[in-house]
Amino acid sequence: SQQGEEDPQALSIQEGENATMNCSYKTSINNLQWYRQNSGRGLVHLILIRSNEREKHSGRLRVTLDTSKKSSSLLITASRAADTASYFCATDGTGGYNKLIFGAGTRLAVHP
Amino acid sequence: KAGVTQTPRYLIKTRGQQVTLSCSPISGHRSVSWYQQTPGQGLQFLFEYFSETQRNKGNFPGRFSGRQFSNSRSEMNVSTLELGDSALYLCASSPDRQRDTQYFGPGTRLTVL
């Protein structure tokens, strides 16, 4: 079963708007990662946040982590058409080693 | 550094056949993980290899197997293919440290007819 659940499943916005995606997970984690996938291609790593961190920034991306609520959010500011993709959160859970457990993903469409 | 490479990129097989997929990790990375992605089940962990040893395995039948070579390159094999094995198979590599960022390859699209 999947560790994470993403919300919303799909998001449609205009260029320039902000996009927020949420992820919830079930078990304790060491870190949480966000990935982007374009049209069924490989996953591109966006950001990793460790369990002792609450917020992290990378360019137009802002990730928050609330371990008490077992949830994370990804904010993309000033969205561009090129941001159109599926976004996944992944946790390491208690499975150990490099075993990532993915959520179902959010499909983001940014319209020019 | 070159990224993770996977070969072949596309593959068409028929039921009952077997298939071998290959993954070359980023230079210096010793951990290689494999994932299956399908529309119905999403992204699921298959197994992870580190220094030629399988360290972790997902919940897949024994038809799915893998191995890692001394140069960290990895292969996965699926025997007696079923229609439900049609999927995008993704390989990821990461450095020695556990629970670090995983870098994914472009995937191999397997279609079973």
Give me the pLDDT at residue A1, please: 42
Q: Which residue of B has its CA nearest to A47?
A: B101
Asked if the model's pLDDT at residue B91 lies above 70, the reply is yes
A27 vs chain B: nearest CA distance in angstroms? 15
- From residue A9, give the alpha-carbon distance in Å to each of A78, B48, B70, B95: 20, 29, 41, 32
In whole angstroms, how far apart are CA A104 and each of A2, A83, B38?
Answer: 8, 18, 11
Tokens of A13: 């916005």
Q: Note the pLDDT tens digit of each residue in B96-109.
A: 766 678 999 999 99
Minimum mean pLDDT range among A62-66, B12-16, B79-83, B93-97: B93-97
**CB < 8 Å from B in window 69-108 of A:** 88, 90, 92, 95-105
Q: What is the pLDDT of residue B98?
A: 65
Task: Tell me what percent of the residues of chain A surpass a pLDDT of 70.
Answer: 92
Residue A99 pLDDT class (50, 70, 90 cuts): confident
Segment A6-21 shows an average pLDDT of 94
Structure tokens of A41? 């291609």
Q: Nearest Cβ partner of B45 from A33, A101, A105?
A: A101
Are B104 and A92 a contacting pair at CB < 8 A? Answer: no
pLDDT in tens, B34-86: 999 999 899 999 999 999 999 889 999 999 999 999 999 999 999 999 999 99
B39-43 contacts, C-beta under 8 A, 24 or more apart: B42/A2, B42/A102, B42/A103, B42/A104, B42/A105, B43/A88, B43/A90, B43/A100, B43/A102, B43/B90
Average pLDDT on A69-89 reads 96
CB contact under 8 A, B104 and A42: yes
Compute the mean pLDDT over every residue in chain A, rounded to the nearest whole number.
91
Sign of the dihedral through C-alpha A63, A29, A95, B95: positive
Residue A64 has pLDDT above 50, yes or no: yes
Interface membership of A3 toward B (CB under 8 Å): no
Give the HSE-up count for residue A17: Cα atoms under 13 Å, Cβ half-sphere: 13
Among A57-66, B37-46, B91-100, the range of highest mean pLDDT: A57-66
Per-residue pLDDT at A3 exceeds 60? no
CA distances from A52 to A23, A80, B21 (A): 17, 31, 37
Q: Is B42 within 8 Å of chain A by CB? A: yes
A34 touching B (Cβ < 8 Å): no
